[in-house]
Amino acid sequence: MTDSRDPDALIRRAGRPDPERDQHFLVDDRVLDRIPTYAGDFDRSHVLEIGAGTGALTDRLLDVADRVTTVERDRGYAAFLREEFSDEIAAGRLDVVRGDALDVEFPAYTCCVSNLPYGVSSGVTFRLLPEREPAVLMYQLEFAERMAAESGTSEYGRLSVAAQHYADVEVVETVPPEAFDPQPRVDSAVVRLTPRDPEYEVDDEAFFFDFVKAVFTQRRKTVRNAIRNTGHISGLDDPDAVVDAVDEDVLGKRPGDLSPATFAALANVALGIQREGAT
């Protein structure tokens, strides 16, 4: 690895980040150096970065990737990146896209490595996951733990089921507030997402996610009552018919005790009944 740009010096040249605008820039060199290594066995021929800020991580990614596309919403920082990395841009190794990562069109990338702006981390993640490309992403620790949680734990919920539908989720490092400037009020975590097909099939992915969302709004109820009480959310016309078609050992559990595969089976039953009722 070549000599990396100093993150504090980048901030001095580019201007102070504003925490009110969800700007918390990673300045710990050790963490910055480690993050690209978590993507070591991914295809890094074209790395996508969301939220480049002053380019401290961008700099490290250019050391290990053939090409980097970075998306930055802040107009001033995007202009700074184009000046700071003008040689890399001229060589065709870096593209700087100014815009909101929730809206801009992503290029055909091979993996994503990012210190995500936490306010849009959920929205960006669920733009990335359906692309089924690997990723190494920084989140608030609580969010990361919910993504990786297993059924039967207090952290397990709708986010766990949805993320694990697309990928293996692994928390590879926790990062303290002191690693950032300005410091956030929470711990953070680096998450490695390795795409894979789920071990189950769903008949309609959109309905599956809506069904999981609905049932988890009643996470303290039994599955029986959760299904009955949330037809207005899941879109079920006859929740009682779904309950009648499901085994008692499933109905008596809490939503947090159901594996993603069991949720998929439930959703398939519910959708089948819904379609029968519509004919």
Q: What are phi and psi of 167, to 5 degrees?
A: -155, 160
**Residue 232 counted as an annotated binding residue:** no
**Residue 249 counted as an annotated binding residue:** no
Question: Do the Cβ atoms of 39 and 134 come closer than 8 Å?
Answer: yes
Q: How many CB atoms lie within 10 A of CB 41?
A: 9
Rounded to 10°, the helix 75-84/7-14 angle is 120
Question: Do the Cβ atoms of 262 and 200 come closer than 8 Å?
Answer: no
**Residue 115 counted as an annotated binding residue:** yes
**How far is residue 188's CA from residue 214's CA, in Å, rounded to a whole number?**
28
**Residue 72 counted as an annotated binding residue:** yes
**Residue 26 counted as an annotated binding residue:** yes
**How far is residue 48's CA from residue 37's CA, in Å, rounded to a whole number?**
15
Question: Do the Cβ atoms of 81 and 96 come closer than 8 Å?
Answer: yes
Spatial CB neighbours of 98, under 8 Å, sequence gap ≥ 6: 71, 72, 73, 75, 78
Question: CA dihedral in degrees (237, 240, 242, 248; nearest 10)?
Answer: 160
Q: Which two tokens stand for residue 150?
A: 């297993």
**Residue 51 counted as an annotated binding residue:** yes
Can you say which residues are annotated as belonging to the binding site for S-adenosyl-L-methionine?
Answer: 24, 26, 51, 72, 100, 115
Can you say which residues are annotated as belonging to the binding site?
Answer: 24, 26, 51, 72, 100, 115
